[in-house]
Chain A
Amino acid sequence: MDARELIAEVLRKSIVIPSSDALLAHIDGWDSLKGVRLVLRMEEIMGRELSEGDIETLQSVEDVDRLLKVA
């Protein structure tokens, strides 16, 4: 699963993301609850808890992709 699919799943709707450096906070419908759901879903996919350091770096779509690729 890539970042765009994952973000769409978290938002429960299909979305158009203009560029990979788009900030999650700027995506239509994004809020803190979606942030929590993103972290929990990523932990499920990656099979481990994300560290506070990992979570702090999750600002943009490409940050999500980068972390998913480390898994």
Chain B
Amino acid sequence: MAADVDRWVVVSGAGGALGAALAKHHAEAGWRVLALDRKFESGGSAGNITACTIDLLIEAEVHKALADHIPANQPIALLINAVGQIWNEPILAMRGARLAAHSLDTWRTVIDANLNAPFVVATQVAARMVRRGGGAIVNFSSIASKGNAGQAAYSAAKAGIEGLTRTMAIELGPLGVRVNAVALGFIDVATTKAALTGERLQEYAQKTPLGRLGDVGEVIGAIEFLAANSFANGTIVRLDGGLRL
């Protein structure tokens, strides 16, 4: 997909390591980028990137950010819906002598971060895309969508993302908006390293047929394929080096 200065790429979750890298890559490729997140630990406004700090769970805030920063006559070519939060919490665990169940509060927080926030951003951007000649949306799933011990809430949210992606593809395809997703395995970025111990990551790398973690460039390649291929709709591209084969 060739860059066009009058067409925008929106990146949600652009304050995290992966989202910031994706925003930077597209800005350097010549796109105008609107970077959205509730806080920016990485990235921020620079060059072609306009960073906007908002609550991605509030529809009115997302709507206003799009209206304030992207001129009405300029379409959004691509939404990279990378907002999310890795969370590890088993269904049941011993806390001292007590058998504790997964907290409902953390369940809700994880569903908010990984399903509700991407839903809000995708629907608000789609409403704008359908009136400006269509566009492409790439959501972020995970290999955990098939179930992963210790990640009940995260797995449920990512399975939800895949259902949302397919349903949006069916509903929005006739309106010129294609919706796809990448389902990532373990990628060598700061957020993955913060969520898992080095030992655990080493273990996953060894279990992966390719013998290593993925890198950000490989994630970008998958997004660019889904953005550029005009027949890809409702597709979930698994990118895990073969870990789940």
Contacts and interface: CB of A to CB of B under 8 A. Distances in A.
Interface of A: 33, 36-37, 40, 43, 49
Interface of B: 130-131, 171, 174-175
B131 A40 contact: yes
A33 B131 contact: no
A37 B130 CA distance: 9
B171 A33 contact: yes
11 contacts: A33-B171, A33-B174, A36-B130, A36-B175, A37-B174, A37-B175, A40-B130, A40-B131, A40-B175, A43-B131, A49-B131
The interface centre, meaning the residue of A33, A43, A49 with most chain B CB atoms within 10 A of its CB, is A33
Contacts of B175: 36-37, 40
A36 B130 CA distance: 9
A55 to B, nearest CB: 13
A37 B171 CA distance: 10
A50 B79 CA distance: 25
Contacts of B171: 33
Given A37-B175, A43-B131, 8 more contacts: A33-B171, A33-B174, A36-B130, A36-B175, A37-B174, A40-B130, A40-B131, A49-B131
B229 to A, nearest CB: 24
Contacts of B131: 40, 43, 49
A33 B130 CA distance: 12
Nearest to B176: A40
Nearest to B174: A37
Contacts of A33: 171, 174
Nearest to A12: B174
Contacts of B130: 36, 40
A23 to B, nearest CB: 22
A49 B73 CA distance: 12
A37 B134 CA distance: 12
Contacts of A43: 131
Contacts of A36: 130, 175
Contacts of A37: 174-175
B123 to A, nearest CB: 12
